[in-house]
Every structure is written in C-alpha cells, then in structure tokens.
A and B are shown apart, each in its own frame.
Chain A
Amino acid sequence: QLQLQESGPGVVKPSETLSLTCSVSGDSIATSLRYWAWIRQSPGKGLEWIGTIFSTGKTYYTPSLGSRITISVDKSKNHFALKLNSVTAADTAVYYCATRPRVDVPVALWGQGTLVAVSS
C-alpha cells in the first residue's frame, strides 16, 4: 500500500533554506509513473499547491514562489524533496506531500503533513 511521510526541521531561520523530504513506501519512485506534489497550508489560510514533479523529473511550480522553489526526486532513497530558499515568516505552514497517478484525477493520497515555522 502506497504511503507518504514528510520529514524535516520544524524551525528554519529567516533568509535560510527550507528543506523537506517525502519518503515513499509501498512503491518504487523510480519505476512508478506518478506525479509527486507539495502542498502547504499557512496558519489561518487555505490549501495552496506549490509544486509537482513527474517521475521523469519534469517540474511544475506555482508562479507565486518564483525561483525560490526546487523539487527533486532521489530514486536511490525512494523519496522526493522540497527546497524553498530565502524563507520569510510567510512561508510558515504545514507542508504536505501528495501523489496521483495521472493529471486527470485529483490527488487522493497525502502524507500527514509537517509544520515548519520560520523564526529566528
């Protein structure tokens, strides 16, 4: 059964880089053709899709984050990663990883989420 689990530091200092990983179990990220995504929820706000990577490595990012975001896949570790640089308090959020097999179906499988606070 495919499962996702986010991990990473709970606190990041302003102007530094937020780094999270999403561990995939129950399937191989190297061989399964899926879309792997990051979604966040800032305090008091709604869900925000921030980016997706396909198993081939092609990436899609929300325009609002500009060049600050990078999503990558590590096939040897069976996980995918999020890096968000130059963070500010506005990047404080619960970050979820999620996946779907095709673009014409909505995301049905999510991790439990991890809270990242940007604070000095």
Chain B
Amino acid sequence: IQMSQSPSTLSAFVGDRVTITCRASQNINNWLAWYQHKPGKAPKLLISRASILESGVPSRFSGSASGTEFTLTISGLQPDDFGTYYCQQYNSYSPMYTFGQGTKLEI
C-alpha cells in the first residue's frame, strides 16, 4: 500500500487553519495515524484510526477521512506546531506499516 501525502512543505501564520492530505493507494478502512516529528526528537502520535485524538493532544488537531483520502487539520496554529507531519497506514492483521512522505510545516 502506497501513501501519498501533500503538500510536501507548508508555510502558515500563527492562528491559521492548515490542512494536510494523505491518500492511500487502496482501501485501508481508516487504519491511518498522524504523527508530529520535530528535529532531534521522537515522533509523537497525534491521531489514530483516522480521527481519534490521542490523550493529551490539543483539540486544535483533528483528523477526518473520506474513502482513501485522509486529512489532518490544525485549527488555530500555534508556534509549537512547527515540525514535519507524517501519515501512517497500519492495519489489524500485520505488523508492517507505511508512512507518507511527510509535510514540513513552517510557522
């Protein structure tokens, strides 16, 4: 399964609403996660099953799905939201998974 993520880079201002899109090459039944990755740190899980916000993640982050297209939205961008965002396809039957190419968000 291939994951196609866009855009590759994104510049926005504090307070903006930004959207990142991820498309799967086939139906993945919403087995989709979103991560935030900052330089020198471990990736942080934000969302699982396309739209379930992880505990402790600010509510300005949200995820949605429409068929094989998935969207991460950040509403009210904060300075700490810089970094690279990755989508990841996983599933219920195999330990193998695939990441999207990443979206670098510059504030």
Contact = CB atoms under 8 A, between A and B. Distances in A.
B4 to A, nearest CB: 12
A47 B89 CA distance: 12
Nearest to A35: B95
Interface string B20-39: 00000000000101010100
Q: Is the interface of B mostly helix, strand, loop or mixed?
A: loop
B48 interface: yes
A18 B102 CA distance: 26
B95 A60 contact: yes
Nearest to B45: A108
Contacts of B101: 46
Interface residues of B, number: 27
Contacts of B83: none
A48 B98 CA distance: 7
A108 B40 CA distance: 17
A103 B97 CA distance: 10
Contacts of B40: 112-113
Interface in A14-53: 35, 37, 46-49, 52
Interface string B52-72: 001000000000000000000
Interface in A70-120: 96, 103-108, 110-113
A47 B41 CA distance: 13
A107 B41 CA distance: 15
Nearest to A47: B99
Contacts of A111: 42
Contacts of A110: 42-43
A112 B93 CA distance: 27
B95 A103 contact: yes
Nearest to A108: B45
Contacts of B84: 46
A99 B74 CA distance: 27
A37 B45 contact: no
Interface of A: 35, 37, 46-49, 52, 54, 60, 62, 96, 103-108, 110-113
